[in-house]
Amino acid sequence: MLGVGDVVEVRVYEEQGLSGLFRVATDGTFQYPLVGQVKAGGLTPGALSEYLTERLKEGFLRNPQVTVFVKESNSKKVFVLGEVNKPGTFAFEDSMTVVQAITMAGGFKDLADKNRTVITRVVDGSEKKFVAPVEAIGLGREQNVQLQPGDIIFVPETWL
């Protein structure tokens, strides 16, 4: 599924003026020649290709051959910050968990407060924060937390 910030390459066979790179804006759309504003958010590249093909057939081209490639998948990332060895931005994977993300970030530093890891997630347009007890999850005492694209994981420093 395409999302905000993703960059797609649209290629129309033998139509250089209609081929190019387009970034999905914060409202999930981008401007496309002849068609105007195109809603790409939530569509697969194949569905976007079909949509553009149908729109270009409406009085512009006889038999357009449209291909859509994802050049940058900026909407599908998670961010791991704080007391981890390699903080940064990581590609989101289906069924990704908080333990997976912290492992991708090189694991905890010595002063990490592992059971006070905070996950920030946007739900219905507002930020929600909740604590993930990652050490307890690792010991099998708590259930692992499924992540969503755009989640921010912050590992605080321990008070001890």
Residue 9: which region, alpha, beta or left (left: phi > 0; alpha: psi -120 to 50)? beta
pLDDT digits (tens, 9 = 90+) for 88-107: 999 888 889 999 999 999 99
CA dist list (Å): 21 to 7, 44, 54, 104: 7, 16, 19, 30
Mean pLDDT comparison of 3-7, 19-23, 74-78, highest-scoring range: 19-23
Has this prediction a pTM greater than 0.75? no
Domains and CATH numbers, the chain: 7-72 (3.30.1950.10), 77-155 (3.10.560.10)
CA distance 55 to 69: 18
